Amino acid sequence: MRLEAVRIGAFKNLRDLSVDFDEGSPYTVLVGQNGAGKSNLIEALALIFRNLDLDVEAPFDYDLKYECRGNHIEVQGKADEFPAFRIKRTKETEYSDLPRKTFMAEDREGRPRHRPAFVFGYYSGPSDRLATIFEKHRERFYSWIIKSPEQRGRTISDPNALRRLFYAQTLHGQFALIAFFMEASEASREDRDFLREHLQIQGLDSVLFALKEPPWKRKGGDARFWNAVGEVQEFLSRLYHQAMLPLRMTRRIPIDLTKNPIVKSLYLFLSSAESLADVYRSYGNQYAFFTALESMHLSKVLAEVRTRVRMSAGAGGGNVTYRDLSEGEQQLLLVLGLLKFTARDEALFLLDEPDTHLNPAWSTQYLTFLDRFIRGRDSCHIVMSSHDPLVFAGLERAQVRIFRRDEKGRAIAEPPDQDPRGMGVAAILTSDLFRLKTTLDVKTQTDLDRQRVLGMKEELTPDEAAELGRIRDDLRGRGFDFTIRDPLYQEFLKAWTAQEDPSWREAVELTPKQREDRGKLAARIVEELRREVGAS
C-alpha cells in the first residue's frame, strides 16, 4: 500500500488541495505551521478510506491514486455519490474501469484485493476528531466479539477484518507492553533487548485486570463475567483460571463532580509473566493475543489494567507501573506496539504528531525505531505530521511535504527546496521548512541586529557609543566575537544594513516573500561587490 497522489476538493480549511507522495518511500512527513491543514489532510484520508471500506458514498469531492498489491488504483469521488474506480494491473500500461463490486472483492483469506488491509489512526492530543472517524468500524467489531458463535451467523478467521480501520488509544500501550513479553522467539527476544536498551524495562512483573459490570444485559452466558459470551468470555475465563484469588467487590467510580456510582467489580491478579504466558499459549501469536486483550476493552467490561514492570539497574531498579513511565515512554510503546502487533501487509498509518513527548535522542532515531518494528515495510505507508526537525532530519525532500498558505489563503503542500538530510537542525529551522529568521533566542538576535546597525554607522552620538559598548560587552560574555578581518564582508554588512527592510529584524518567522526578498538583496549586494572588486 503506497499513496501516490490525492486531491481534496473541499474539506474544512482544505480547498482544491493536491498532494503528491513519494511512492518509493514508506514515509511521508507533513510539516508546517499550526492550522495549515496537516491534521485535516490526515482526517480527510481517514474519511476517504473509511467510506471506501464501508462501500458508501464519498464524503466530499476527491481524486485518489495509490498502489496496492501490485496494482495501481484510481478513485474519483464526488460528494454524496458512489466513487468511480480505475485500475492498472501489473505489467499493464493503461488504466481500465474497475466495477465497484470488483473493487470491494476479497481474496480467499478475506483480504481486500484493491484496498489497504488496514488503516491505522493515532493522534497524540486530547481531541477526538480523528477518533470519531473510526467509530463505525469499532462498533462493528464490538458487535461481533460480544456474541456467541451461534449468534454470529458466519465464521471469520480474523475478527480484525471487521475493523480495517483501527484507532490507537492510550490503553493499547499497556496491551503492547504485555504482548512484548509473551513470545519466546528470537525476534521477540530482540524486541525485549530494545526495551531494555532504550526504555530500561527489564521484564514483566505482574498484571492486575480490574473488571466492571458492563452496560449491556445478557442471559445464558458465563455468570462469572456478567453472562459474557464469545471471544470476551473465552479470554476472561483463561485469565480467571490463572489469577491468584479472584476478588469480587463493589466500589464507587467517580465520573464527574455529581456522579459517583457504585459498580460491581472483579479483580484478576496475575502474579507473574509465566501465569500470563499460559494464557498466551492458547492464542499462539502476539497478534491474536493483542486482539484478545483489546476485546475486554471494547466489550466495556474492562475498567483498568495495572501493569507492573521491572526496571534495569541503570534506571534505578525496582518495579514500577505503566502509569509511572513517562509520557514519552508510553507514547513510544503505543506506536511501536501498534506497528508490531496489529499491522499486516498493505497497511496505511495516519499518525498525527506521534512524537510530541519524545526526547531529542529518541526523536533523532524515531523513524529508525519505526523501521525496526514495522512488518511488511515494503507494502506499508506511514503518513505523519511533526513539528520536530530531529524526526525528519535524515529524510530526502521527496519524503517531506510543507503545508502553508498561498496569497489567497489556500492551503498548499509542496516539497522543501532541498533535502533535510545533511542540513543539520539549525539549517532546517532557518530553511523553507520552518522559515525562522534565526535559531538564536529573541534577545540575543535583537542585540546582534542592534550591534550591527550601530557598528555600521560612520558617526555615533555619545549615547549610541555607550549603547554599542554595553551590547558588545554583553555579547562577548555570551561567546560572540565581532572582529571582522575580511573588508569585503564588512562592506557587505554596510550595504545590507542600509538596504534591508526594518521589518525583517522584528520578524521571528519569515514569510515566503520575505525569504525571497532577503535572498534577492543578498545576491544583488554580492554582485555589486563583485563588480567593484573587478573594476579595481
pLDDT at residue 351, as a whole number:
97
For residues 495-509, average pLDDT: 86
Helix (H) or strand (E) holding 15: strand 14-20
Pseudo-torsion of CA 352, 354, 356, 357, nearest 10°?
A: 160
Q: What are phi and psi of 404, to 5 degrees?
A: -155, 175
Which residues, other chains included, contact 132 with Cβ-Cβ below 8 Å and sequence gap of 6+? Answer: none
Report the C-alpha gap between 391 and 378 in whole angstroms. 20
For residue 498, is pLDDT > 80? yes
For residue 259, is pLDDT > 80? no
State the burial class of residue 185 (Cβ atoms within 10 Å of its Cβ: 0-12, 13-18, 19+).
exposed
Residues of the chain with CATH 3.40.50.300: 1-124+344-422
pLDDT at residue 247, as a whole number:
95
For residues 360-385, average pLDDT: 88
- CB of 208 closer than 8 Å to CB of 306: yes
b/e map 210-231, b = 16+ CB within 10 Å = bbbbbeeeeeebbeebbebbbb
DSSP alpha helix (H) spans, 299-350: 327-341
Superfamily of domain 1-124+344-422: P-loop containing nucleotide triphosphate hydrolases (3.40.50.300)
3-state secondary structure of 234: helix
What number of residues does the chain have? 536
- CB of 420 closer than 8 Å to CB of 395: yes
For residues 433-442, average pLDDT: 91
Q: Name the strands in the sheet holding 14-20, side by side, starting at the edge strand that comes first in the sequence.
A: 14-20, 2-11, 62-68, 71-77, 84-88, 96-98
Give pLDDT tens digits for 307-341.
999 999 888 889 999 999 999 999 999 999 888 87
pTM for this model (two decimals): 0.88
Pseudo-torsion of CA 393, 394, 396, 398, nearest 10°?
A: -70
